[in-house]
Amino acid sequence: MKDPVTTVPVERVSQPRPSGSRKICVLLLAPVYSQIYSGAAYMAQLLIGSPFSEQFDLCFINTRFVDSVSNLGKISFKKLVLFLKYLWLLIAALLTKRPDVVILCPAFSRGAFLKDSIYTAIGSRLFGRRVIWWAHAWGFRQLFDDSHTLIQRYIRWVASRVALVVMVGSRQRRDFDFMFLPEQLVVIHNSVPVETYSWGRFQGRSNVRVLYFANLEITKGWQVLLEAAMRICAMRDDVFFDFYGNPVPNSSIAAIHQAFQTSGYPDRICFHGPAYGLEKHQAFEKADIFCFPTFFPVETFGLVNLEAMNAGLPIISTDHASIPEVVIEGLGGFLVAKNDGEALSAAIIRLAEDNDLRLRMGRFNQQRFYEHFTVDRFVDRWIELILKLGDH
């Protein structure tokens, strides 16, 4: 769960070109929301606000179709109108800005992919621009396998118009490698801004606090952690659990409060709701262990794990999606089987009982974060990629 991002204007152009020179022009289409957290939206926002927009002539079209979580996946007349609007903005930008590269953030549900495939075809086929898919979700292979033969031919034709697929993790290769060449698949890990935390905060603590910080989507694993918390609290009186996050359609606020009120340990297992800014920073600062037992079907990376690494926390997560590329088993934390409350409990207890192990893993995570997952590193990789593509 991230701070809600501020909606960027439909078109954002970087600094004017110096006289007599031409910057590489990049057109980015991505959904950016004011109230909904999305990894794709958050990373697009980071890229737009970074030196990337100074290195290149950047034009941005906000392809937002919904204003609330409840409208996700629903068909409406308003969405059709927005699709036509964004299509017109795309064509206008291609005609007036003449971008060298078009970056799209495709979705792989059938209806959403149809929309994004049209954007891809127009940018590449009609205007001859290099198109990059920035893949923030799984599902491309599944979409293809579940489609009729004629639709599969169309998908292959659309994919043939894509120059590169930028993935957020290496494991995503298996979602694309049946249709794209190895050199077309590029990994650029996600990032989060650096926050400053004091190591002295761990000294003198008599209790251990376990933190969950994500939307309370059921497949993010909060119920699995809640059951583990109840089991641990029955055995130990020095472990506390703090849950932060927003309710979602399959976890209503009433159901969440009911679950925590009946946990049997309301003073030690607490739901705090969403947190942003200073409150979020304080939540990480008070924690000793971060726990994210996700089995979310379209999970790709788990940005919140990076925030925990930045805070110097050991992490317990799952061997799911690209999380093993972030959390190194045995060095930065533990990876447990999905939906396995007993394994999760055992990992929490092991860390709760060993302060030195927690500190060692936390330091490993923080060092790894600074080496691989800062915004500077993320932006440098994108700049390097566009410059390389522009040379061809």
Across the chain, where does the E strand assignment appear? 25-30, 57-62, 101-104, 130-135, 164-167, 185-187, 208-213, 239-244, 269-271, 289-292, 315-318, 333-336
Per the domain annotation, does 17 fall within a domain?
no
pLDDT value at position 75?
62
What is the span of the domain harbouring residue 237?
199-372
pTM of the model: 0.89
Per the domain annotation, does 156 fall within a domain?
yes
**pLDDT beyond 80 at 250:** yes
Q: Are residues 166 and 221 in the same domain?
A: no
pLDDT value at position 74?
56
Q: Are residues 358 and 382 in the same domain?
A: no
Mean pLDDT computed over 36-44: 79
Give the C-alpha separation, 57 to 64, whole Å. 22
Q: Assess contact for 3 and 276: CB atoms under 8 A.
A: yes
Per the domain annotation, does 330 fall within a domain?
yes
Q: Are residues 287 and 186 in the same domain?
A: no
Per the domain annotation, does 57 fall within a domain?
yes
pLDDT value at position 10?
34
Q: Report residue 66's pLDDT band, with 50, 70 and 90 as the boundaries.
A: low
Give me Rg for the CA atoms of the chain.
22
Residue 106's φ and ψ, nearest 5 degrees, are: -75, 150
Q: Are residues 312 and 385 in the same domain?
A: no
Q: Are residues 287 and 352 in the same domain?
A: yes
Per the structure block, which two tokens stand in for 362? Answer: 């936390």
- CATH code of residue 117: 3.40.50.2000
Say which residues have a Cβ less than 8 Å from residue 9's Cβ, sequence separation at least 6. Answer: 60, 62
Mean pLDDT, the chain, as a whole number? 90
More confident residue, 243 or 204: 243
Residue corresponding to tokens 């030195």: 356
Q: Are residues 114 and 48 in the same domain?
A: yes
Per the domain annotation, does 324 fall within a domain?
yes
The fraction of the chain above a pLDDT of 70, given in percent, is 90
pLDDT value at position 68?
52
Per the domain annotation, does 117 fall within a domain?
yes
Q: Mind listing the pLDDT tens digit for each residue in 354-383?
A: 999 999 999 999 999 999 999 999 999 999
Number of domains comprising the chain? 2
Q: Are residues 367 and 380 in the same domain?
A: no
Per the domain annotation, does 300 fall within a domain?
yes
Q: Are residues 361 and 383 in the same domain?
A: no
Q: State the DSSP H helix or E strand holding residue 285, giving kind and residue range, or none if neither.
A: helix 277-286
Q: Are residues 186 and 276 in the same domain?
A: no
Q: Are residues 203 and 138 in the same domain?
A: no
Q: State the DSSP H helix or E strand holding residue 175, giving kind and residue range, or none if neither.
A: helix 173-176
Q: Assess contact for 190 and 168: CB atoms under 8 A.
A: yes
